[in-house]
Structure formats: C-alpha cells, structure tokens
C-alpha cells in the first residue's frame, strides 16, 4: 500500500488528443514472441526525461533520454517550472523512442515502472501523470519506484551482486550511505546534513566562473573541477575535511563551501580581479577542493564499512561497496574509495557512467526486480501520489554514531 504524503501535489494532464495521437503512433508486431517479461521504466524526478525497456533477464532492449543540463547550466541551476515544462515537451517522444528502439508496443509490456519519489514535485508529476494514462489505456500493472532504491540496485543489472552490499550514492541531489539487504530492504547509515557533494562542486565551479574557462564551458561543475584539478597543485591550499570529530557516517558540504567562497574572495582581492573572471589559481583551488571532498567521502565510507563488518551486516570475506551517482564518475574520488576498500579487503564496484547518472534503465530494472520479487505491483492506481520527500529505508544513523567507531588513518596518496 502506498503511504500518501502531505506534500504530494496535483497531476499534470496532457490533452486527450495528444494521448490518442501518441498511442496511434505505434506499430504493433503481431507474431513476435518475447521470452521474458518486459518492463518500461520512466524517470522524470529531476532534470532528465528518460525511458527504457528492460527484460526480465536484464537485457536493455531500448532506451532514450532528453537531458536538460544545457538549459539549466545557462540559468545557473534548476528552475522547477522550467524543468516541468521541458519534461512535458519531451516525455511523449522519449517514451516513444524507447519503445520503438525496443520494437515493443505498449500491449506487449508486463508492467510500467515510474519514479514517484523522491524528487522535484513538478517534475515527478509529469512522469506519473503520463504513466497513469498509459497503464490505464493498456490495462497494465503499475510499479511505483523510489529513485534512490533504483540507483542502489542498478549494479545488479551489470554485475552479479548478491544481497547484502553497502551503497554510496553521491550526486548533485543525493548523498547517502545505505546497507542494501533486499529489493526493498534498506538500512540508512548516514546522509548529508546539508547539501550533496555534486551541488557543492557545482556551486564552487560557478563561483570560480569555470563556465568562462575555455576548456570547461560545456562541463557540469563537478566535471570541470575534476578536469582543472589535474592541472593544479592541491598543496597550495589547505581546506580541512568537515565533521572530523563526529564519529558517524553523516556528511556535510555547505560549511566547506563557505570556507572556499571566502578563500576565492580573498584571492580575487590579491589578484586584483572582479568576481566573474577566472582566477589564475583556479586549478589549484579545484585540486584542493576535490581532494578535501574525496577525503571526507572516503572517511565516512570507511566508517560505514567497519560498522557493517563489526555488526556482521556484510560478508566478512566478500564485502561489496557499490558507488553510484554523477559524482561517482570522478576518478579521483574513486581512487580515494579504492584506498579504503583495499584497506578493508572489500570489493569496489561502480555501474558504468551512463548508468551512474539518472536514466530510464535503472527504473525499468527496479521494476523487473520488484516484478520478480512480487513487491509493490499495483493493479489499481487509485489515490497514488508522488512524494517529493521520502527517506530511504530504515534510518539507523543514530546507532552508527553511538557506536563511535574510530577510523584508522589512511594515506590518501592519489
Ligand atoms: O546523478 P546526476 O547526473 O544527477 C543528480 O544530481 O541526480 O549527478 C549530477 C552531479 C552534478 O552535480 C555534477 O556536477 C556531478 O554530478 N558530476 C561530477 C562529475 N561529473 C558529474 N562530480 C565530480 N566529478 C565528475 N567527473
Ligand atoms: Zn539520481
């Protein structure tokens, strides 16, 4: 049963004429036989409109995505009504492209799985409204998907990973550490108390005006920082990793961001340049920021691994750490995590970059996992709402803090 959330909102309704035109645009494939069940996944929780068809065996039959990054880069961040409008303009085409690429018609689907939580209300509403009309028209089961659960389980599509495993999700909107015990069985060990690391890197990149840097103008903030950091010397700046005294697995990035902001202001004065111009020390700042963020993430993850091992939550000999989200594509941060997994005899796994960021495949795959486990498959969608805020699993972060595990110092030579 779905728990309704107070913040849940009203659906957006595309016109009937549009829907009929959409449905009429499909070519049906009589006589074609699919050996496996097929799930269509739809994702609109933030700024990507994405859809994919995945079969029961994990084969991706087709996918399509429309990224809004370029528009949001220009405005310096996501403006929800703009994101909503872009989802509205693209969802029909994206779903159609995913189905056409798969050579699957809606009638051949076993279910439709759609992100309904957490995310931007206006964005979630577009995907949900569209999906409800689709399942109603074709009399298909509906599988509501939790965006973070989908990120966490993606690795089981690409690698043979059994439960339980530890997952670290780091992106522009997410920052959490969770133990994954089953398809819908999660223990939350820690999360960011303020902003996510990707958000912080985006803010620092904006403050450094990296969009004006000839090599970085089309890159996301995080990618620009990684790129410039390679040319810089991190030792020219000394930023302290946050929360060093708190022996838990929570994260914090906004304090560090303010320290960096102050440092940038001071450098601008020293170099005699206006805000909006690129500092000559931008690469050094990028290198120091990246290193500090990597150390902070590595330390919290190290503690989570030790906590899980101490409690017998993970296999003693074959513990797995999965890292996903846009920030997981940062090779410097991955190396820092590799130092941690090597020190704790764990295996580090990351989905391929295209599956680390928001995508339709992870939603369809979560639908497949739920279909196979017989969990959360709705034949009646009455009263279903999207939920902009929704925690992941059972929060045991307080217990983790009470265990106060001291993490051995590791040499972060990256
Ligand atoms: O997962 P994602 O596409 O979207 C969500 O935030 O949900 O992640 C985007 C975030 C942005 O903040 C971006 O700056 C960051 O991931 N990012 C990176 C890198 N590539 C993207 N951060 C650090 N290093 C990168 N190479
Ligand atoms: Zn995401």
**210, 80: one domain:** no
325 CB within 6 A, ligand 1:
yes
Q: Answer yes or no: is 299 within a domain.
A: yes
Give the distance (Å) from ligand 1 centre to CA of residue 330. Answer: 9
Strand 175-182 and strand 165-170: the pairing is: antiparallel
**Taking 90 as the threshold, does the pLDDT of residue 258 lie above it?**
yes
State residue 193's pLDDT score.
98
**187, 314: one domain:** yes
340 CB within 6 A, ligand 1:
no
**344, 230: one domain:** yes
Q: Answer yes or no: is 317 within a domain.
A: yes
**252, 204: one domain:** yes
Q: Answer yes or no: is 258 within a domain.
A: yes
Pocket test for ligand 1, best of 220, 290, 414 (most atoms within 8 A of CB): 220
220 CB within 6 A, ligand 1:
yes
CATH assignment of the domain containing 55: 3.30.420.40
The percentage of the chain sitting over the pLDDT mark of 90, rounded to a whole number, equals: 84
State residue 205's pLDDT score.
96
Q: Answer yes or no: is 378 within a domain.
A: no
pLDDT confidence band for 19 (50 / 70 / 90): low
Tokens of 342: 């090597």
pLDDT confidence band for 16 (50 / 70 / 90): low
Q: Which domain holds residue 212?
A: 165-353+394-403
Domain count, the chain: 2
**277, 298: one domain:** yes
**Taking 80 as the threshold, does the pLDDT of residue 28 lie above it?**
no
Q: Answer yes or no: is 24 within a domain.
A: no
**233, 365: one domain:** no
**Taking 70 as the threshold, does the pLDDT of residue 3 lie above it?**
no
Q: Answer yes or no: is 99 within a domain.
A: yes
**339, 367: one domain:** no
**Taking 60 as the threshold, does the pLDDT of residue 86 lie above it?**
yes
Q: Answer yes or no: is 15 within a domain.
A: no
Q: Answer yes or no: is 5 within a domain.
A: no
**148, 172: one domain:** no
Pocket test for ligand 1, best of 176, 205, 222, 351 (most atoms within 8 A of CB): 222
State mean pLDDT over 298-307.
Answer: 98
Q: What is the mean pLDDT of the chain?
A: 91
Distances from the Cα of 246 to the Cα of 78, 259, 306, angstroms? 32, 19, 15
**145, 170: one domain:** no
Determine contact, residues 366/149, Cβ cutoff 8 Å.
yes
Nearest to 166 by CA among 362, 303, 57: 303
Most confident of 11-20, 22-31, 193-202, 268-277: 193-202
**91, 60: one domain:** yes
Question: What's the pLDDT tens digit per position in 116-152?
Answer: 999 999 999 999 999 999 999 999 999 999 999 999 9
Reduced to 3 states (helix: H, G, I; strand: E, B; else coil), residue 312 is coil
Give 190's Cβ-side CA count (13 Å radius): 28
State residue 34's pLDDT score.
64
**208, 62: one domain:** no
**285, 143: one domain:** no
Distance from C-alpha of 200 to C-alpha of 110, rounded to nearest angstrom: 40
330 CB within 6 A, ligand 1:
yes
Give the distance (Å) from ligand 2 centre to CA of residue 148. Answer: 7
pLDDT confidence band for 5 (50 / 70 / 90): very low
**Taking 70 as the threshold, does the pLDDT of residue 27 lie above it?**
no
- Edge-first strand order for the sheet with 394-395 is 347-349, 320-324, 165-170, 175-182, 185-191, 394-395
């Amino acid at each position: 049963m779905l728990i309704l959330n107070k913040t849940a909102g009203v659906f957006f309704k595309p016109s009937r004429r549009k829907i009929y035109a959409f449905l009429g645009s499909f070519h049906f494939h009589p006589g074609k036989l699919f050996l496996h069940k097929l799930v269509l996944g739809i994702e609109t929780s933030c700024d990507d409109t994405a859809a994919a068809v995945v079969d029961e065996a994990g084969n991706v039959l087709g996918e399509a995505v429309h990224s809004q990054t370029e528009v949001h880069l220009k405005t310096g961040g996501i403006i929800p009504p703009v994101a909503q409008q872009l989802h509205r303009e693209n969802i029909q085409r994206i779903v159609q492209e995913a189905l056409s690429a798969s050579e699957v018609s809606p009638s051949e689907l076993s279910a439709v799985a759609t992100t309904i939580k957490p995310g931007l209300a206006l964005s979630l509403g577009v995907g949900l409204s569209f999906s409800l009309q689709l399942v109603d028209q074709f009399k298909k089961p509906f599988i509501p998907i939790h965006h973070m659960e989908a990120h966490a389980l993606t690795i089981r599509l690409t690698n043979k990973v059994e439960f339980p495993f530890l997952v670290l999700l780091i992106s522009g909107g997410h920052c959490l550490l969770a133990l994954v015990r089953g398809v819908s069985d999660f223990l939350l060990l820690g999360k960011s108390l303020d902003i996510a690391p990707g958000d912080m890197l985006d803010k620092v990149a904006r403050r450094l005006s990296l969009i004006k840097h000839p090599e970085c103008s089309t890159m996301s903030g995080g990618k620009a920082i990684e790129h410039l950091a390679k040319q810089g010397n991190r030792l020219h700046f000394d930023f302290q990793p946050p929360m060093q005294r708190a022996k838990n697995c929570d994260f914090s990035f906004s304090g560090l961001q303010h320290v960096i902001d102050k440092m940038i202001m001071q450098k601008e004065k020293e170099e005699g340049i206006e805000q909006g111009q690129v500092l000559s020390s931008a690469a050094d700042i990028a290198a120091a920021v990246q290193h500090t963020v990597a150390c902070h993430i590595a330390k919290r993850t190290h503690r989570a691994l030790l906590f899980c091992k101490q409690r017998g939550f993970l296999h003693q000999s074959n513990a797995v750490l999965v890292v996903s989200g846009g920030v997981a594509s940062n090779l410097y941060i991955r190396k820092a995590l590799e130092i941690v997994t090597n020190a704790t005899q764990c295996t580090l796994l990351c989905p391929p970059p295209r599956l680390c960021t928001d995508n339709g495949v992870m939603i369809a795959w979560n639908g497949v996992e739920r279909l196979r486990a017989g969990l959360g498959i709705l034949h009646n969608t009455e009263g279903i709402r999207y939920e902009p805020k929704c925690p992941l699993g059972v929060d045991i972060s307080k217990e983790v803090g009470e265990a106060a595990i001291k993490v051995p110092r590791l040499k972060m030579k990256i």
